[in-house]
Amino acid sequence: MVDDPQEQIKIICVDKGRGLARQVMQIFGEEKICLAYERSLDEVVDRFEREAFDLMLFSSSMTYTEPDNALEILDLITAKCPGTQILFFTYPGRLKIAHEALRTGVFHYSTLPVSDEELKLLIETAIDTSPRLGLNLMLRSAVEETTFESMVGRSSAMRQVYRQIRQAAATDIPVLLSGETGTGKELAAQAIHELSARARAPYITVHIGSLPPDLVASELFGHERGAFTSATGQRKGCFETANGGTVFLDELSTIDEKMQISLLRLLEKCEFSRIGSQKTLSVDVRVLAATNADLEDEIRRGNFREDLFYRLDVLHIEMPALRERHGDINLLVDHFINGACEHFQKSIRGISPDFISCLEAYPWPGNVRELRNIIQRAVISCSGDILSTAHLPERIRQYRGKDSTITIRVGTRLEQAEKELIARTLDHTGNNRTRTSEILGISRRSLYNKMRRYGL
């Protein structure tokens, strides 16, 4: 039946009763098969999103109340799961539905009750003739990338960032990361380094905005003994220390004009001098830079050199704000709860529905960093094991009960508007496809097709 006689066959039996499932177990036993059982059409789709099956036994009892939905699910699994053979079992007088099932791509049908001999032959034949190369394209693990390096998110905005990070890692050019504070620019920079050919070399981060202006030059380029009053010895700067690796300059817009000139020289010639020294040093360093300021606006104001901007802006990655990352809040909340529980030795087993509703409605001016801090505080303050709105600050609680709204500008293409509507509805339902299709008034199959078309 299978190439490896020791390998169990994974079968799912979809039936209102358990008679067919019991019969299969009596014929083959637990050693030969791993049998799952479902009696809800909605649960069938959810099950295929979590697992792959060799065979599905589908009873016509599932078609009595929702025939169209049942046939739609058969059609969906046939299209998305070519490695799963489907056997349809119908009661006498229900041959019409069996013929309709065959048109969806079902492998074979039989009438109930079915003898042990016939059932055994049907299952063995279905398994022996099943495609050897057939992925379950409904598996969430196969179609949704929820984590990338240290970042969490599966929204279309974040998948675009992941693609750009891979592109950046494959080259050795400077990268400029922009975006609001708290959007994860530093995590993106670290991912670029760790995926690049320089991964085993030093990676040094310099938070320029946190340094006193008179110490920036020393931090970047180093100094000689006696270069200034407190220079009691020679010191290597971050570029010299990171030779062969990567330097990440955060809050780039805060450096003064003199440092901008020195940085431009390093980018163009890979050369610099320590403070207090006339000696020119050569280094092999990749520069990644980040800013939450509009550098083009800073250029117009005369605060930032245009030539340095274009030297750094060879590849530009815009980190999306959390309010633009539709569908990511649930993932991030789960990630931060797990991290906080481990760090603070707490046990949280769930969250209340209005807790997540508040978080989804709040605009998050502090982005992911603000969300992380809020979840940490909630976990610390929770005396039980369920997080509720009582554990949230008042500024977030006031968003409880507010309806989600979508603003679509005049001139937006119809496809873009539809993509936005589907993405926001999925976000609102916690990625529940059944509920989403009901709200949008379309079939589950149509929803899957649109999600695939729009990369959701």
pLDDT tens sequence across 361-420? 899 999 999 999 999 999 999 998 889 899 999 999 887 655 556 667 777 788 888 888
Residue 146 has pLDDT above 70, yes or no: no
pLDDT surpasses 60 at 148: yes
- CATH, residue 359: 1.10.8.60
Round to whole Å and give the CA distance between 217 and 157.
Answer: 36
β-bridge pairing 281-282 and 147-148: unpaired
Q: Are residues 91 and 157 in the same domain?
A: no
Residue 387 inside a domain? The answer is yes
pLDDT of 240 > 70? The answer is yes
Q: Is the pLDDT of residue 201 over 50?
A: yes
More confident residue, 353 or 269: 269
Task: Please report how the helices 329-344 and 367-381 are oriented relative to each other, as an axis angle in degrees rounded to 10.
Answer: 50
| Cβ atoms within 10 Å, residue 47 | 18
Asked whether residue 158 falls in the same domain as residue 261, the answer is: yes
Q: Is the pLDDT of residue 218 over 60?
A: yes
Q: For residues 244 and 92, give the distance between their C-alpha atoms in angstroms, rounded to a whole number.
A: 75
Report pLDDT digits (tens) over 7-46.
688 999 999 999 999 999 999 988 889 999 998 887 888 8
User: Which CA distances in Å does 332 have to 133, 322, 326, 361?
Assistant: 34, 10, 12, 15
Mean pLDDT for 76-83 is 79
Provide the whole-model pTM: 0.61
Rg from Cα positions in the chain: 29
pLDDT of residue 1: 47
What string of DSSP letters covers 376-399? HHHHHH-SSSEE-GGGS-HHHHTT
Strands (E), 60-148: 85-90, 108-111, 147-148
Domain membership of residue 404 (yes or no) is: no
Q: Within 31-115, where are the H helices? A: 41-50, 67-80, 95-103
Residues 6+ apart with CB under 8 A from 357: 399, 400, 401
pLDDT for residue 290 is more than 60: yes
Q: What is the CATH number of the domain that holds 445?
A: 1.10.10.60
CATH of the domain at 23: 3.40.50.2300
Q: Write the DSSP symbol of residue 455.
A: T
Percent of the chain past pLDDT 70, that is, above it, reads 92
Residue where one domain finishes, among candidates 320, 348, 369: 320
| Average pLDDT of the chain to the nearest whole number | 87
- Each residue's pLDDT tens digit, 115-143: 999 999 999 999 887 754 445 556 655 44
| Owning domain of residue 354 | 333-397
Token code pair at residue 441? 């008034």
- Residue 109: closest CA among 128, 126, 130, 84: 126
Measured over the CA atoms of residue 330, residue 335, residue 341 and residue 347, the dihedral's sign is positive
Whether 238 maps to a domain, the answer reads yes
**What pLDDT does 250 receive?**
95
Q: How much is the average pLDDT of 261-268?
A: 93
CA distances from 218 to 248, 252, 255 (A): 16, 16, 13
pLDDT for the residue 142: 47
Same domain, 178 and 293: yes
235 & 201 share domain: yes
Pair 156, 294 in one domain: yes
CA distance 104 to 99: 9
Evaluated on CA atoms 339, 345, 348, 349, the torsion sign reads positive
Contact 316, 289 (CB under 8 A): no
256 and 367 belong to one structural domain: no
Contact, 44 vs 15, CB < 8 A?
A: no
How many whole angstroms separate alpha carbon 211 and alpha carbon 170?
32
Model pLDDT, residue 133: 44
Average confidence (pLDDT) over 233-260: 93
Question: Do the domain assignments include residue 432?
Answer: yes
Higher per-residue pLDDT: 59 or 277? 59
Ramachandran class of 197: left when φ > 0, alpha when ψ lies in -120 to 50, beta otherwise: alpha
pLDDT score of 223: 87
Q: Domain for residue 2, yes or no?
A: no
Q: Is residue 430 part of a domain?
A: yes
CB 254 within 8 A of CB 208: yes
- Of 293, 320, 347, which one is at a domain's C-terminal end? 320
Select from 201, 66, 206, 79 the least CA-distant residue to 136.
Answer: 79
Same domain assignment for residues 174 and 64: no
CATH number for the domain that contains residue 316: 3.40.50.300
Q: How far lies 113's CA from each of 9, 58, 110, in Å? A: 23, 13, 9
Q: Are 9 and 55 in contact (CB under 8 A)?
A: yes
| pLDDT reported for residue 2 | 47
Residue 390 lies in a domain: yes
Residues 339, 235 share a domain: no
- Residue 209 tokens read as 């905005």
Mean pLDDT of 60-77: 88
Instruction: Please provide residue 164's backbone torsions phi and psi, each rounded to the nearest 5 degrees.
Output: -65, -35
Rounded to a whole number, what is the distance in angstroms from the first to the last CA of the chain?
Answer: 37
Same domain, 243 and 354: no
Considering the domain architecture, whether residues 117 and 198 belong to the same structural domain is answered as no
Give me the helices (H) in 200-284, please: 216-221, 238-241, 257-269
How many folded domains does the chain comprise? 4
- Residue 85, classified by CB atoms within 10 Å of its CB into exposed (0-12), middle (13-18) or buried (19+), is buried
Q: Are residues 293 and 213 in the same domain?
A: yes
* 28 domain-assigned: yes
Write down the pLDDT at residue 3.
45
Among 286, 320, 354, where does a domain finish?
Answer: 320
Distance separating alpha carbons of residues 318 and 292, to the nearest angstrom: 10
Q: Are 83 and 41 in contact (CB under 8 A)?
A: no
- Are 362 and 377 in the same domain? yes
